């Protein structure tokens, strides 16, 4: 939807009472001057993404979020209200709000803070924590009026009722050690009952865990997790010493596997072999990987981190990699035999077979393998799609829709197991 020439968005979604999720980050609003009652009466709205709104020309925000009775989180960090003259009842009857992010340019006319009708709560900033695990600079907090009058507002949450007084250790349910207990790092130790955060799964020699992190919640007197970790024993395979060999032209040999047949010949350039200054470390990896589809090809390397002249992998090629190699700050993943590929040339994925459905929103954004939003395609409301791959892109999970189109797992619902 092209909104680049729209000047009036007042009452645009007024009284859309069945609307639950609305992602408008692709909206162009740099010409808009009136946003009054834009989301007024959206009483069942749970998620609203307007982080890219340009409000520099807006003069009227009266009742913009009034009646959003179930909306708990609102990110207005990008809002510029320097030209806004009318903000009366902006947050009226939006009493579920408990997370509010306001930027430096969110300015309320002097002595008009009460007119916005922001729910009367005590607010604390998240400090060095997160919205789910706040670590405020001042635990006393501020009132709603004080918050709106502050010059440097930032990210605030409604002050939780009770401070956490329990120990900073948690027992991790798992299949091999009934007494597996982890000490919580200082950086994420909770301040309040109800705070949630994640910690890394403990590593066990000779085993690989089925997950990287577990979610922790602070109860009244203890920390607990509902996640169970399953450890799988690894078959120990000694890493053989590698000897330097002359570059091999893969097209001249009979391929022994699908991976070997995928490795192609590239122009051979004679180079001097230099012994690396740092010895590489090989560890277990055990993940599926795919060469990024925006690459023409990916260079193959030997165990010393030197280019394997004449050997490359095509874009979109996928395989199961059992080992990771680290030389200094550079990480590689195993391909086959003595061949390795740089970690930044591939993304990690898991094979799945799921049917998903987009949420009941105007549009759902598609991204490419680099998580760049598509300019030409988006998904409509309640679309049903099949996905065979769950990809980890920029440390977030996405379902693959086509070879280079992915949808955020948080923006769809799984409708079969």
User: CA–CA separation, 88 vs 61, rounded Å?
Assistant: 7
User: CA–CA separation, 323 vs 285, rounded Å?
Assistant: 5
- Name which of 391, 242, 250 is nearest 325 in CA terms: 242
pLDDT for the residue numbered 246: 41
Find where tokens 């090809």 sit. 297
User: CA–CA separation, 284 vs 209, rounded Å?
Assistant: 11
- Backbone dihedral region for residue 127 (phi beyond 0: left; psi -120 to 50: alpha; all else: beta): left
In angstroms and rounded to an integer, the radius of gyration of the C-alpha atoms of the chain is 27
Distance (Å) of CA 261 to CA 121, 254, 310, 335, 390: 64, 8, 14, 12, 25
pLDDT for the residue numbered 271: 46
pLDDT for the residue numbered 22: 95
User: Rounded to 5, what percent of the chain is helix, strand, coil?
Assistant: 5, 35, 55
330 contacts: CB under 8 Å, gap ≥ 6? 305, 342
pLDDT for the residue numbered 251: 35
Strands 263-264 and 223-224: unpaired
Which two tokens mark 338?
């003595």
pLDDT for the residue numbered 375: 84
Asked if 415 and 357 touch (Cβ cutoff 8 Å), the reply is yes
pLDDT for the residue numbered 273: 47
pLDDT for the residue numbered 278: 56
* 349-414: CATH topology: SH3 type barrels. (2.30.30)
pLDDT along the chain (417 residues), means of 10: 93 94 93 97 95 96 96 96 96 96 93 95 96 94 95 92 96 95 96 96 90 94 94 65 40 44 54 54 92 93 90 90 92 91 96 90 91 88 90 94 93 82
Domain locations along the chain:
1-159, 169-233, 281-344, 349-414
pLDDT for the residue numbered 259: 58
Roughly how many angstroms between the first and final C-alpha of the chain, as a whole number?
33
Task: Using CB atoms within 10 Å of the CB of residue 5, give its burial: 0 to 12 exposed, 13 to 18 middle, 19+ buried.
Answer: exposed
pLDDT for the residue numbered 256: 40
């Amino acid at each position: 939807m092209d909104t680049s020439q729209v000047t009036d968005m007042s009452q645009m979604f007024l009284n859309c009472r069945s609307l639950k999720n609305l992602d408008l980050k692709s909206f162009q609003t740099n010409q808009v001057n009136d946003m009054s009652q834009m989301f007024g009466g959206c009483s069942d709205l749970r998620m609203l993404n307007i982080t890219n709104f340009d409000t520099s020309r807006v003069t009227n925000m009266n009742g913009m979020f009034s009646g959003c009775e179930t909306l708990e989180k609102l990110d207005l960090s990008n809002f510029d209200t320097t030209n806004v003259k009318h903000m009366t009842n902006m947050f009226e009857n939006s009493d579920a709000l408990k997370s509010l992010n306001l930027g430096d340019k969110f300015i309320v006319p002097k002595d008009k803070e009460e007119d916005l009708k922001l729910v009367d709560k005590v607010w604390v900033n998240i400090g060095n924590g997160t919205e789910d695990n706040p670590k405020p600079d001042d635990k006393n907090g501020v009132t709603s009026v004080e918050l709106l009058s502050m010059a440097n507002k930032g990210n605030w949450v409604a002050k939780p009722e009770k401070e956490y007084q329990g120990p900073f250790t948690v027992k991790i349910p798992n299949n091999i050690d009934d007494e597996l207990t982890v000490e919580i790092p200082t950086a994420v130790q909770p301040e309040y009952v109800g705070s949630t955060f994640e910690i890394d799964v403990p590593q066990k020699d000779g085993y690989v865990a089925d997950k990287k992190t577990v979610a922790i919640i602070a109860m009244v007197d203890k920390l607990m997790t509902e996640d169970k970790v399953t450890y799988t024993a690894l078959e120990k395979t000694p890493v053989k010493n590698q000897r330097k060999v002359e570059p091999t032209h893969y097209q001249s040999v009979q391929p022994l596997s699908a991976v070997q047949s995928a490795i192609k010949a590239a122009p051979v350039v004679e180079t001097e072999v230099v012994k690396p200054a740092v010895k590489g470390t090989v560890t277990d990896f055990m993940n599926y990987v795919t060469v990024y589809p925006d690459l023409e090809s990916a260079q193959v390397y030997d165990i010393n981190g030197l280019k394997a002249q004449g050997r490359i992998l095509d874009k979109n090629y996928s395989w199961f990699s059992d080992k990771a190699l680290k030389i200094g700050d550079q990480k590689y993943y195993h391909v086959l035999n003595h061949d390795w590929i740089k970690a930044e040339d591939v993304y990690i994925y898991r094979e799945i077979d799921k049917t998903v459905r987009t949420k009941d929103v105007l549009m759902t954004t598609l991204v490419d393998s680099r998580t760049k939003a598509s300019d030409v395609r988006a998904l409509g409301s309640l679309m049903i799609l099949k996905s065979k791959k769950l990809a980890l892109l920029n440390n977030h999970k996405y379902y693959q829709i086509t070879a280079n189109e992915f949808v955020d797992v948080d923006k769809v619902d799984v409708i079969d197991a």
